[in-house]
Structure 1
Amino acid sequence: MRAIGGLWRWRHNPLRRRTDLAEAWLALAAIVLILAVVPLVGAAVGASAQSALQQAVRDQRAARHEVAATVVRKLSLSPLDPDPETASRRAAHSRVMANWTAPDGTSQHGAVTAALKSPAPGDHFTIWTDPHGRILARPLDSATATTHAVLAGFGAAVMAVGLVEGGRRLIVWRMVLRRYDRWDRAWDKAGPDWGRTGAGS
């Protein structure tokens, strides 16, 4: 709104310089870009991310299988566990040696993390594996994918606003430098005669 007000104010002002009008038009163009183009950029990036992430959800659901595993014995946790989330996960998860049958029918045995507070031999829990029984992370769910897509669209919109405003400020900065340069040349021209009576007459 200030840009529109600035354009209106400078229309017939006798003190108006060309650069003043150019700055006002530049501000107006930046506002129009931010209001009209930035939302489209955010929506396009968000839609593209949503499509890619939902495809990843479908691919992971097709490639990963939830299978039942049986606890053989509990394993002691290392005090140097590199997982940064272990402090909050230890209460609800345990490291165990377990047996499970892969989707292809092969028997598997290994150390896994079980969603059990106090696992005992014979306890059952579920894990995610590939078709050959190798342990995989839980597949991405649709709601999480949508959240990531929304964040991607919002981030792209914020970046676009930053680019538009950064471009506007860069152009104004160059205009101000040029204006100062013209002032310096004008003062250099008038400087030798400044203050003399009848100078330039």
Structure 2
Amino acid sequence: MSGEIPPAQPPPVPDPQQQHVHPVPWWRWRRNPLRRRTDQLQAWIALGLLLAVPLVGAAAMIVIGEAAYRHYRATSEHQAKSRHHTTAVLLHDAPQHLEPGSDEARATRYPAEVRYTDPTGRIRTGRTDVPPGLPADSTVRVWVGEEGKITEPPMTSQEIRSRSMGWSALALLSVAVTGVTAYGATILILRRRNFAAWDAQWAQTAPRWTRSP
């Protein structure tokens, strides 16, 4: 039909045997008549992110890791000053393990009710984990917080290092994900721009190929 512009068709796939195919990662850097400005821009953005992500990630690991280490170290010191290590008495027999004497039994702990004295001298009762089979009136060591309740022991140096390393790894992962997301968004924007330019150029070229009846 006269005046109707046919839909744009994708370019034919070149035959690898008829031309020398350059490696995919480098074709945007080589001069050729089919290379667009957006192709070169995409290559520069990819190179920039490839260089920036490791550097920013390493810096983030150091900064976040040191900040987390200082935070957990201060928390551990506060816990050591504010928590009291005292002796508690078991009020009831602890449950027996199904396999007494086994490695699993030695590692297993059961919650049991105990009686203890808080830092103010008040007698309290609470629950803590004890080995299986421990008889009533046995003594166990517990940590008591500022409010007089049984709590966890202060963080150890190993726990401080482990948590700090976890935050460092999370910082590196966040930078990597941000870089990948930025690159994906850039490709999407450039691809839409290419399609729009392609449609505009085809609208100018197609009428010259259209034949009137």
**Structure 1 pair 155–132 and aligned structure 2 pair: CA distance change class (3 A):** closer
**Structure 1 pair 107–92 and aligned structure 2 pair: CA distance change class (3 A):** farther
Q: Among 63, 71, 78, which residue is 1:52 paired with? A: 71
TM-score after normalising by structure 1: 0.78
**Structure 1 pair 152–131 and aligned structure 2 pair: CA distance change class (3 A):** closer
Helix, strand or coil at the partner of 1:144? helix
1:128-143 alignment, distance < 5 Å: 128-131=143-146, 133-143=148-158
Q: Among 138, 150, 157, which residue is 1:123 paired with? A: 138
In 2, distance between residues paired with 1:92 and 1:141? Answer: 21
The 8 Å contact of residues 4 and 28 in structure 1, kept in 2 or not, is answered as no
Q: May I ask how many residue pairs the two structures share in their alignment? A: 182
Deviations 1:112-137 (A, max 9, x none): 22422112232111111025632112
Q: Among 164, 169, 194, which residue is 1:149 paired with? A: 164
The 8 Å contact of residues 111 and 128 in structure 2, kept in 1 or not, is answered as yes
1:32-111 alignment, distance < 5 Å: 32-74=51-93, 92-104=108-120, 106-111=121-126
User: Any gaps of 5 or more consecutive residues in structure 1?
Assistant: 77-87
Helix, strand or coil at the partner of 1:74? coil
**Structure 1 pair 121–33 and aligned structure 2 pair: CA distance change class (3 A):** same
Compute the displacement of 1:139 (Å).
Answer: 2.1
**Structure 1 pair 111–188 and aligned structure 2 pair: CA distance change class (3 A):** same
Helix, strand or coil at the partner of 1:73? coil
Corresponding residue number in structure 1 for 2:179: 164
1:184-199 alignment, distance < 5 Å: 184-194=199-209, 196=211
Corresponding residue number in structure 2 for 1:176: 191
Helix, strand or coil at the partner of 1:174? helix
RMSD between superposed Cα atoms in Å? 2.8
Matched, 1:17 2:17: no
Bigger RCO (CA 8 Å, 6+ sep) = 2
User: Any gaps of 5 or more consecutive residues in structure 2?
Assistant: 1-22, 96-103
